[in-house]
Chain A
Amino acid sequence: MVKIGLEIHGYINTHEKLFCTCKVGHGLKHALPNTNICPICTGQPGSKPLLPNKEAVKKAIQIALVLGCKVSKKMPWQRKHYSWPDLPKGFQSTMSGPHSIPNGISGNFMGIGITECHLEEDPAAWNPETGEIDYNRSGSPLIEIVTDPDFKSKEEVVDWLRNLLAVLDYIKVIDRNFGVKADVNISIGGGKRVEIKNVNSLRKISDAIDVEVDRQEKDLPKIQQTRSYDEKAGTTKLMRTKDNAQDYRFISDPDLPVLEISEEWIEKLKKSLPETPQDKLKKLIEEYKIEKKYAEMLIKKLSLVELFEKTLEKIKPEIAIPWVTIELLSVANYNKLDVDEMKIDSNHFIELLEAIQENKIIELKAKDILRKWVPNSISPSEEINNSLTISGEEVKNMAKEVILENSKAVEDYKSGKTWAINFLIGQIMKKSNKRADFKFAKKILEDLLK
């Protein structure tokens, strides 16, 4: 039987680094290398850490709470020693290790046991090919979540991780732009545990499990090993065995005071947590009577489901659902944007949908307006006023004009080429500046061409 456990690392969203006031920015995407640095995060001799960033501590507690962990109230910081170029101090300040008390312990998230979750600082970014070091990342707050070996398949792992990331996204505690990074522990019946280090996407995690399970089935591990996943070669490669396992020489950090958390603060944070995706799903299905497939689509993104819930205050679900799950998302996808990046003001969105609901404008016109909301929405009032749906009589007059002006299409239609009517409808839409009701225009044309 396959047993899988995970050690997941996520970047906690803060403005400042964990032990200094440097701006948090992960890598080249955010800043020129080695610009958000100071003597503390580059480990200059004699430098001492500041007290830890309260925002990072707060978010670590929130994570522990959503994972159903018991939150620790008194935790000594630990020094984890190792000699790599990415670790300027020669040790990492962490809440992990044999003498530690992690921020959260003994949790359970969606049926998987959580051994612990703890706060720690990130090392620098080091390129082993070039030797280049970027200290911008050094000292940024990280959360590590360690699960029990409860997973039995790669599908279970990927599904669970998706849910975990959605929840962490909901409580706005991690920087999703930097994805997921995990160490994957795998063992199969009778064999020793193998740890695959630093697998950095859901797809790679799934592939690495496949490859490693296959390898272990052919050659049952007799000693504990640490391996790396080689995507190109489609294999895992031995890094070290238990015999030469790294000894991190953990000690309590004498430069940092014991982290003390009050019961009041924990309670306050517990109350302030938003609904989880599962809570939202239940609410959408049971309270708003939304079909499961749409509800599942909506809960993937907190901003999307929040916009939908706000929209429902004034708009019927049958109108709100396609406009949120299809039209809005397709505009975002077309512009290669995340829906959050579109900066949609819910009042603008509701105003647009109200105009559709009250038949003030046709859907085609509303889609035109929505397409202009990149990178942000603007009030649609003016465009709505200029695009009010024209009367049936006006459509009828336009249809007569179109018939007179397009004799070839009329002949085609009458000779059995029924699709020619679409051309005629298009001409009406053009004449009316997309203000004619499409279905009504079609019906009028059909009547006139009988």
Chain B
Amino acid sequence: MSFLHKKLDEKDKEKIKEDVKEIVDTFGSVLSSLSDLAEEGSIERKNSFREEKKDFNNDSSFRKKMFKNSKNKNKDFIIAEKKKW
């Protein structure tokens, strides 16, 4: 089932890609021009790291859930895009 009101052709897709890139680039360029950004969003706490332990207790049910929710998988792997970059 598609939630799109309009079926996109390749030209539309290309245009959207270009628009997205432009938005992201503009945003990136504004971000890099902000000189005091290092202070923005920084939080300070009494402890800034944790001690590691050696007793691992991974929640094995998480793996099952992740694979169940994954649309594309192959044995022990989740399948993502192929050779698009």
- Of the candidates A33, A37, A100, A130, the one whose C-beta lies within 8 Å of that of B62 is A37
A131 touches B72 (CB 8 A): yes
Residues B25 and A54 in contact, CB atoms below 8 Å apart: no
Contact B48 A39 (CB under 8 A): no
Taking a contact as CB atoms closer than 8 A, the residue among B43, B51, B67 that contacts A254 in the complex is: B43
**What is the size, in residues, of chain A's interface with B at 8 Å between Cβ atoms?**
52
5 extra interchain contacts, Cβ-Cβ under 8 A, other than A76-B39, A98-B32? A22-B56, A34-B78, A126-B80, A131-B72, A132-B78
Q: Mark A108-140, 1 if CB is under 8 A from B, else 0.
A: 000000000000000000101111111100000
Name A270-328 residues within 8 Å CB distance of B: none
Q: Are A21 and B56 neighbours in the complex by a CB distance under 8 Å?
A: yes
- Interface: B49 (CB within 8 A): yes
Smallest CB gap from B45: residue in A? A257
Asked whether B49 lies within 8 Å of A42 as measured between CB atoms, the reply is no
Contact A54 B76 (CB under 8 A): no
A76–B82 CB distance below 8 A:
no
Total A-B residue contacts, Cβ distance less than 8 Å? 138
Decide yes or no whether A269 CB sits under 8 A from chain B: no
Q: In the complex, what residues of B have CB within 8 A of residue A85's CB? A: 80-81
Quick check: is B85 within 8 A (CB to CB) of the other chain? yes
B43 touching A15, Cβ below 8 Å: no
| Cβ-based interface call for A238 (8 A) | no
Q: Mark A5-23, 1 if CB is under 8 A from B, else 0.
A: 0000000001110000111
Docked complex Cα distance between A256 and B82 (Å):
33
CA distance A100 to B32 in the complex (A): 12
> Which residues of B are interface residues toward A (Cβ below 8 A)?
24-25, 27-29, 31-32, 37-45, 47-54, 56-59, 62-63, 66-67, 72, 74, 76-85
B63 touches A133 (CB 8 A): no
Alpha-carbon distance A34/B58, docked complex (angstroms): 12
Minimum C-beta distance from B25 to chain A (A): 6
Cβ contact within 8 Å between B82 and A99: no
Question: Per a CB cutoff under 8 Å, which of B39, B40, B49 touches A52?
Answer: B49
Contact B66 A42 (CB under 8 A): yes
With A100-B38, A257-B48 as known contacts, state yes or no: A128 contacts B56, CB within 8 Å: no
Q: Which residues of A contact B53 (CB under 8 A)?
A: 15-16, 21
Q: With CB as the reference atom, state the residue of chain B lying closest to A100.
A: B38
Do B58 and A38 have beta carbons less than 8 Å apart? yes
Chain A residues with CB below 8 A from B62, complex form? 37-39
Assess whether A406 is interfacial by the CB under 8 Å rule.
no
With both chains docked as a complex, state the minimum distance between the C-beta of A190 and any C-beta of chain B, in angstroms. 28
A32 at interface by CB-CB < 8 Å: yes
| List of 3 A-B pairs having minimum Cβ-Cβ separation, nearest first | A85-B80, A247-B28, A132-B77
Interface residues of A in 13-71 (CB under 8 A from B): 14-16, 21-23, 32-39, 42, 44, 50-55, 57
Given A128-B82, A259-B49: A247 in contact with B29 (beta carbons within 8 A): yes
**Contact of A259 with B48 at beta-carbon distance under 8 Å, contacts A37-B66, A133-B77, A249-B27 already known:** yes
Cross-chain contact A35 with B63 (CB below 8 angstroms): yes
Q: Which of A32, A101, A252 contacts B76 (CB 8 A)?
A: A32
Docked-complex contact A84 and B41, CB < 8 angstroms: no
Q: Does A76 lie within 8 Å of B38, measured CB to CB? A: yes
The reply to whether the CB of A251 lies closer than 8 angstroms to some CB of chain B is yes
A37-B62, A76-B38, A131-B82 given; A16·B52 CB < 8 A: yes
Please, could you name 15 A-B residue pairs with CB atoms under 8 Å apart, sorted by A? A15-B54, A21-B53, A36-B58, A37-B62, A38-B62, A39-B62, A44-B66, A51-B50, A54-B51, A128-B83, A133-B77, A133-B79, A247-B28, A257-B42, A259-B48
